[in-house]
C-alpha cells in the first residue's frame, strides 16, 4: 500500500479526536485520522449516546406504568426489548454517520486501522487491506479508554458483562447484579430496573457514588428503593461461578458471606486508558503510574510534536473535557496562543433523579481554607417541578461567605444535566451569587431554583422560609 504523508495525524475518532481533526482542518491543516473501530469512539458507539438513549426509553416506559395519579392510564403497555435495542442502534448510526460526514466535508482523510508508532514522526497502520506507513509533522493521541477488568472476573459478554455488553443485550435479564456503585453501574442499573429487571448493586465502599456528597446520594437512593433495587455497600464479590444460564455469586460483607444467583452480572469498576500497544516507547513519551500520558497546558506531551487529549490525558474521563482538549491542541498546533484553562468542568450522572455538579464541593472549599456559605433550594418548593411530578431533589450552591463568589453548584433532581449549564457559565465568568439572584428567570421553570438558591445565600428567600440569621 502507498505510504501517506500528512501534516497532522489524529489517532482515534472519538469526541476528543474527531473534534480536534475538524478544528485542525478549519485552520488549514492537512489532517489524517486513524480509527481502529468506529468513528465516534466509545462515547457515540458504546457509551454516552446509547446509554442515554436507553435511559430515556426506560423513563418513558416507567412513566407509562405510573401515571394513574394524573388520571392517565395506559392499557396494554409492553416492552419489546429487541426493538428497543434496535432503536438505540439507529440513534447511534445517525450520529456516527453525521460525524463521518463532517470529517469528510472538512477534508479529513480517515483510515480504518490499528496505529502504532515506529518513531516520533511515523506510524505503522494495520488495515484490512494491509499495512501502511503514515508520516507526519505532529500527532494527536486520542485513543480513549476501555472498561477496567478485575482479575478472576471473566467478562464474556454473555453471562458476565462490562458496560459494552450491558448496552447490547437482546433479552431482558430477570435478575441483574451490578458490581460497582459508580456512575456507570448506577446509570445502567437504573435503566434495567425501570424496564423490569430485579437489580442488585454491590459496592465495596461505604456508599454508592462515592465521589458525590451524601445528601445528594440519599435522593438517588430513595429512587432506587422505590424501584426495588437492593444496594449492598461495604460489600465485595468474593467469587463468581458460571453455570449454563446464570451466575452464582458469593458476597462478603459486614454480616459475613452469602451466596446468590443472577441471570447476568454487570462489572463496572472504572476505566483504563488505551495507551498500551501504541508503541509509545518508540517516541520517548513516558506514562504516569496509572498509564495516562502527562501533558502541559497546550495538551503537548514531553515530546514537542506529540499531543494527547481525552481519556488518555488523564482525569476527568469526560467526553466534553476531551472535546475541549481537542480544540486546544488543534489551535496550539495551528499556531494560535491558546491553553487549556478551564475553571468550571461540569459532570453529570444520569441516574433517576439525575446528579450534576460543577466547581467545588463544600468539603473541597473548606479544605482550601475558604469561608464557605452553603445555600439550597428544594425541588418540592418549585412550581414547575411539582407540575411535572418531579418533587425530589435540590439545588445547592457553594459560595465564598466573604466575597460572595460562586464556587460550586450541585444539583440532584429532574433535568439536572441541563440546569448545570447556567452555574457552569457563572463560575467560569467569576460571577457572585448576587448575579444569579438578580437575574430574572422565566416562570414557571426549573432554573428558577438556581435563582432561589442564590436568594437563600443572600438571606432573602421568597418561596421557602428561612429564619433571619442572628449574625
pLDDT digits (tens, 9 = 90+) for 297-341: 999 999 999 999 999 999 999 999 999 999 999 999 999 999 999
Query: What whole-number distance in Å separates Cα of residue 282 and Cα of residue 97?
Result: 34
Contact 296, 325 (CB under 8 A): no
DSSP secondary structure code for residue 235 in this structure: -
What is each CA distance from 440 to 1, 23, 46, 434, in whole angstroms? 63, 36, 40, 12
Structural domains of the chain, count: 3
pLDDT band at 153; cut points 50, 70, 90 = confident
Please give the positions annotated as active site. 443
pLDDT at 471 over 80: no
Is the pLDDT at 423 greater than 90? The verdict is yes
Q: Distance between CA atoms of 326 and 330, rounded to whole angstroms? A: 6
Rounded CA separation 117/13 (Å): 17
Q: What is the pLDDT of residue 468?
A: 67
Whether residue 398 contacts residue 360, with contact meaning beta carbons closer than 8 Å, is answered with yes
Same domain, 79 and 223: no
Among 348, 318, 347, 355, smallest CA distance to 221 is for: 355
Q: What is the CATH number of the domain that holds 444?
A: 3.30.390.30
Mean pLDDT, the chain, whole residue set: 95
Show which of 310, 333, 356 is a domain's final residue: 333
Give mean pLDDT, residues 412-436.
98
Q: Do residues 401 and 459 touch, judged by C-beta distance below 8 A?
A: no
Kindly report, residue by residue over 89-102, the tens digit of the pLDDT: 999 999 999 999 99
Q: What is the DSSP letter of 381?
A: G
Question: Considering the entire predicted model, what is its pTM?
Answer: 0.94
**Are 281 and 391 part of one and the same domain?**
no
Is 191:385 a contact under the CB 8 Å cutoff? no
Same domain, 306 and 365: no
In a domain, 470, yes or no: no
Q: Tell me: do 116 and 176 sit in the same domain.
A: no
Q: Are 285 and 179 in contact (CB under 8 A)?
A: no
Same-domain status, 39 and 100 = yes
Name the pLDDT band for 243 (thresholds 50, 70, 90). very high
The reply to whether 410 falls in a domain is yes
Q: Of 48, 88, 271, whose CA–CA distance to 168 is shortest?
A: 88
What is the distance between the alpha carbons of residues 251 and 351, in angstroms, rounded to a whole number?
25
Query: CA-CA distance, 136 to 303, in Å (whole number)?
Result: 14
Helices 17-26 and 81-105: crossing angle in degrees, nearest 10, is: 30
Residues with Cβ within 8 Å of 119's Cβ and at least 6 positions away in sequence, in order, are 282, 283
Domain hosting 452: range is: 347-458
Residue keyed to cell 446528579: 355
Reported as a single tens digit per residue, the pLDDT across 352-407 is 999 999 999 999 999 999 999 999 999 999 999 999 999 999 999 999 999 999 99
Question: Residue 253: pLDDT above 70?
Answer: yes
Containing H/E element for 307?
strand 306-308
Amino acid at each position: 500500500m502507498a505510504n501517506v504523508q500528512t501534516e497532522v495525524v489524529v489517532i482515534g475518532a472519538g469526541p476528543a479526536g474527531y473534534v480536534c481533526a475538524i478544528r485542525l482542518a478549519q485552520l488549514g491543516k492537512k489532517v489524517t485520522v486513524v480509527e481502529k473501530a468506529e468513528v465516534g469512539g466509545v462515547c457515540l458507539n458504546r457509551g454516552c449516546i446509547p446509554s442515554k438513549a436507553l435511559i430515556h426509553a426506560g423513563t418513558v416506559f416507567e412513566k407509562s406504568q405510573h401515571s394513574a395519579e394524573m388520571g392517565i392510564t395506559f392499557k396494554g403497555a409492553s416492552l419489546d426489548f429487541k426493538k428497543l435495542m434496535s432503536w438505540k442502534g439507529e440513534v447511534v448510526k445517525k450520529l456516527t454517520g453525521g460525524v463521518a460526514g463532517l470529517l469528510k466535508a472538512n477534508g479529513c482523510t480517515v483510515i480504518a486501522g490499528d496505529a502504532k508508532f515506529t518513531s516520533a514522526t511515523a506510524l505503522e497502520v494495520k488495515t484490512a487491506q494491509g499495512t501502511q506507513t503514515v508520516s507526519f509533522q505532529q500527532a494527536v493521541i486520542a485513543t480513549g479508554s476501555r472498561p477496567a477488568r478485575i482479575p478472576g472476573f471473566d467478562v464474556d459478554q454473555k453471562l458476565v458483562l462490562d458496560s459494552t455488553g450491558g448496552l447490547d443485550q437482546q433479552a431482558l435479564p430477570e435478575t441483574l447484579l451490578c458490581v460497582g456503585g459508580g456512575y456507570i453501574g448506577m446509570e445502567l442499573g437504573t435503566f434495567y430496573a425501570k424496564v423490569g429487571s430485579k437489580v442488585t448493586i454491590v459496592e465495596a465502599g461505604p456508599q454508592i457514588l462515592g465521589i458525590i456528597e451524601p445528601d445528594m446520594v440519599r435522593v438517588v437512593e430513595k429512587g432506587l428503593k422505590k424501584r426495588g433495587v437492593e444496594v449492598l455497600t461495604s460489600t465485595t464479590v468474593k467469587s463468581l461461578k458460571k453455570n449454563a444460564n446464570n451466575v452464582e455469586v458469593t458476597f462478603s460483607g459486614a454480616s459475613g458471606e452469602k451466596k446468590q444467583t443472577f441471570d447476568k452480572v454487570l462489572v463496572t469498576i472504572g476505566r483504563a486508558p488505551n495507551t498500551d500497544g501504541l508503541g509509545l516507547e518508540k517516541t520517548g513519551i513516558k506514562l504516569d503510574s496509572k498509564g495516562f500520558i502527562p501533558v502541559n497546558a497546550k495538551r503537548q506531551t514531553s515530546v514537542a510534536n506529540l499531543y494527547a487529549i481525552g481519556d488518555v490525558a488523564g482525569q476527568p474521563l469526560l467526553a466534553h473535557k476531551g472535546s475541549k482538549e481537542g480544540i486546544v491542541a488543534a489551535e496550539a498546533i495551528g499556531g494560535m496562543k491558546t491553553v487549556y484553562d478551564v475553571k468550571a468542568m461540569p459532570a453529570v450522572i444520569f441516574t433517576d433523579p439525575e446528579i450534576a455538579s460543577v466547581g467545588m464541593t463544600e468539603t473541597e472549599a473548606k479544605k482550601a481554607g475558604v469561608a464557605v456559605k452553603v445555600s439550597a433550594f428544594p425541588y418540592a418548593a418549585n412550581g414547575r417541578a411539582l407540575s411535572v411530578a418531579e418533587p425530589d431533589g435540590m439545588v445547592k450552591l457553594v459560595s465564598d461567605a466573604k466575597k460572595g463568589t460562586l464556587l460550586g453548584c450541585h444539583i440532584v433532581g429532574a433535568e439536572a444535566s441541563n440546569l448545570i449549564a447556567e452555574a457552569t457559565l457563572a463560575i467560569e465568568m467569576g460571577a457572585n451569587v448576587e448575579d444569579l439572584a438578580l437575574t430574572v428567570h422565566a416562570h414557571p421553570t426549573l432554573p428558577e431554583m438556581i435563582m432561589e438558591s442564590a436568594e437563600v445565600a443572600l438571606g432573602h428567600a421568597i418561596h421557602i422560609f428561612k429564619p433571619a440569621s442572628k449574625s
